[in-house]
């Protein structure tokens, strides 16, 4: 059903974690994790976007801290996890394994899984792989890493809505002779030995997503793409996953495996004018999963920070307090 942004639910006040650390998940990688809220509360795990985006203090605020034990972590190569921006041994199934390792480390039986954008991809992949560990799903900006979704945003679709940013920022790092496959061209540079070119491409790739993530262009959001360390991790890891088709063995792996999780409560929040992850994907998921609750926010794009989307996510997690 369509939802207008009226009498909007606000996020909870900022809180600090009461426990944090690094968990070694492979010979190469250690992931940073933290827990906040109620130590005896209902566990929820927050899965950030990108991949490569990392987490922030704002990510704790969708959850009632008196009710929830809030687990937040940075995925391999992102945020405070080490080594930074590392692509080796970094794939969807490694991340799924990391979520299980963290659940075991924190001695959690079952948890609610919360994720948006790439976080929704990972949430669905994890739930379909470990359905008995999941109590419910709260998803935003559905992305199933299908070829059509990648082509739309990185090759020839979204440019029609943001031609200025596409022509002035996203295209220039790539010679015209290589523009028939922009993801592959970016990947060569993001993984190449020329560090100056790598940084230029990382910033251009990151700016494209940051500039298109909200209904109204947000200069503060675009500034993120100018942070060297963040941009390199974000662009390298995203592009690595996307040129490898998410490491899925077929284009619609998530939809094919939905039968494993249809018994779980699920709320989907989707911006009507989401350019990064268009509403078609949320609709396709809802058609295959009629039991899921879909909210299309009428005046929002992609970002979870847009008021209407934030409100619906907080409302969903308030509802899940009674699970």
The string of DSSP codes covering 92-123 is HHHHHHHHHHHHHHTT-S-EEEEEETHHHHHH
Instruction: Tell me the mean pLDDT in the region 118-134.
Output: 98
- Whether residue 54 contacts residue 230, with contact meaning beta carbons closer than 8 Å, is answered with yes
Residue of 146, 224, 150 whose CA lies nearest to 182 = 150
Instruction: Tell me the mean pLDDT in the region 121-147.
Output: 98
The residues annotated as belonging to the active site are 117, 274, 302
Give dist(CA 236, CA 205) in Å, integer.
9
- Chain-centroid distance of CA 72 in Å reads 13
Answer whether residue 5 shows pLDDT above 50.
no
Answer whether residue 4 shows pLDDT above 60.
no
Instruction: Tell me the mean pLDDT in the region 130-151.
Output: 98
With a CB cutoff of 8 Å and minimum separation 6, the contacts of 196 are none
pLDDT digits (tens, 9 = 90+) for 196-227: 999 999 999 999 999 999 999 999 999 999 99
Number of other CB atoms surrounding residue 104 within 10 Å: 11
228-243 and 182-190 are packed helices; what angle lies between their axes, rounded to 10 degrees? 130
Confidence of residue 64 (pLDDT cuts 50, 70, 90): very high
Note the pLDDT of residue 54.
Answer: 98
Measuring CA to CA, how many Å separate 72 from each of 43, 64, 183? 11, 14, 29
Cis before 83 (ω within 30): yes
Note the pLDDT of residue 6.
Answer: 59
CATH 3.40.50.11540 for domain 2-144+249-322, yes or no, is: no
pLDDT digits (tens, 9 = 90+) for 150-185: 999 999 999 999 999 999 999 999 999 999 999 999
Give dist(CA 105, CA 217) in Å, integer.
41
CA angle, 186 then 27 then 81, to 5°: 55
Give dist(CA 281, CA 316) in Å, integer.
20
Number of other CB atoms surrounding residue 44 within 10 Å: 25
Note the pLDDT of residue 2.
Answer: 55
pLDDT digits (tens, 9 = 90+) for 194-204: 999 999 999 99
Rounded to a whole number of angstroms, the CA Rg of the chain reads 19
For the chain, the domains span: 2-144+249-322, 147-246
Note the pLDDT of residue 71.
Answer: 99
Residue of 96, 82, 60 whose CA lies nearest to 304 = 60
User: Sheet containing 19-24: which strands, arranged edge to edge?
Assistant: 2-3, 293-297, 266-271, 134-140, 111-116, 42-47, 68-73, 30-37, 19-24
Confidence of residue 7 (pLDDT cuts 50, 70, 90): confident
Q: Residue 116: phi, psi to the nearest 5?
A: -130, 150
pLDDT digits (tens, 9 = 90+) for 83-121: 999 999 999 999 999 999 999 999 999 999 999 999 999
Is the dihedral angle over the CA atoms 50, 163, 156, 170 positive or is it negative? negative
pLDDT digits (tens, 9 = 90+) for 234-269: 999 999 999 999 999 999 999 999 999 999 999 999
**DSSP class of residue 30?**
E
With a CB cutoff of 8 Å and minimum separation 6, the contacts of 89 are 26, 27, 28, 29, 76
With a CB cutoff of 8 Å and minimum separation 6, the contacts of 93 are 247
- Whether residue 300 contacts residue 272, with contact meaning beta carbons closer than 8 Å, is answered with yes
- Whether residue 205 contacts residue 230, with contact meaning beta carbons closer than 8 Å, is answered with no
């Amino acid at each position: 059903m369509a939802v207008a942004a009226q009498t909007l639910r606000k996020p909870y006040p900022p809180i600090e974690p009461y426990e944090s650390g690094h968990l070694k998940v492979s010979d190469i990688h250690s992931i940073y994790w933290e827990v906040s809220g109620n130590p005896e509360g209902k566990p929820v795990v927050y899965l950030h976007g990108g991949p490569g985006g990392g987490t922030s203090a704002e990510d704790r605020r969708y959850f009632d801290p008196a009710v929830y034990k809030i687990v937040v972590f940075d995925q391999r190569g992102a945020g405070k996890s080490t080594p930074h921006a590392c692509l080796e041994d970094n794939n969807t199934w490694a991340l799924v394994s990391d979520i299980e390792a963290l659940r075991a480390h924190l001695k959690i039986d079952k948890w609610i899984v919360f994720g948006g954008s790439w976080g929704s991809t990972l949430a669905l992949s994890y739930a379909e792989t470990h359905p008995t560990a999941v109590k419910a799903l709260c998803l935003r900006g559905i992305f199933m890493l299908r070829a059509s979704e990648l082509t739309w945003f990185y090759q020839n679709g979204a440019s029609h809505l943001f031609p200025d940013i596409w022509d002035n920022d996203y295209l220039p790092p790539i010679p015209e002779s290589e523009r028939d496959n922009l993801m592959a061209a970016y990947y060569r540079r993001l993984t190449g030995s020329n560090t100056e070119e790598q940084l230029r491409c990382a910033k251009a790739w990151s700016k494209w997503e940051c500039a298109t993530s909200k209904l109204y262009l947000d200069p503060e959001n675009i500034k993120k793409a100018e942070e060297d360390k963040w941009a390199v991790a974000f662009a390298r890891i995203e592009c690595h996953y996307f040129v490898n088709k998410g490491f899925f063995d077929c284009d619609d792996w998530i939809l094919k495996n939905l039968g494993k999780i249809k018994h779980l409560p699920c709320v989907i929040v989707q911006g009507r004018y989401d350019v990064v992850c268009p509403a078609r994907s949320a609709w396709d998921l809802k058609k295959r999963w009629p039991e899921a609750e879909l909210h299309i926010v009428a005046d929002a794009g992609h970002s979870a920070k847009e008021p209407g989307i934030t409100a619906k996510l907080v409302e969903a997690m308030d509802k899940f307090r009674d699970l």
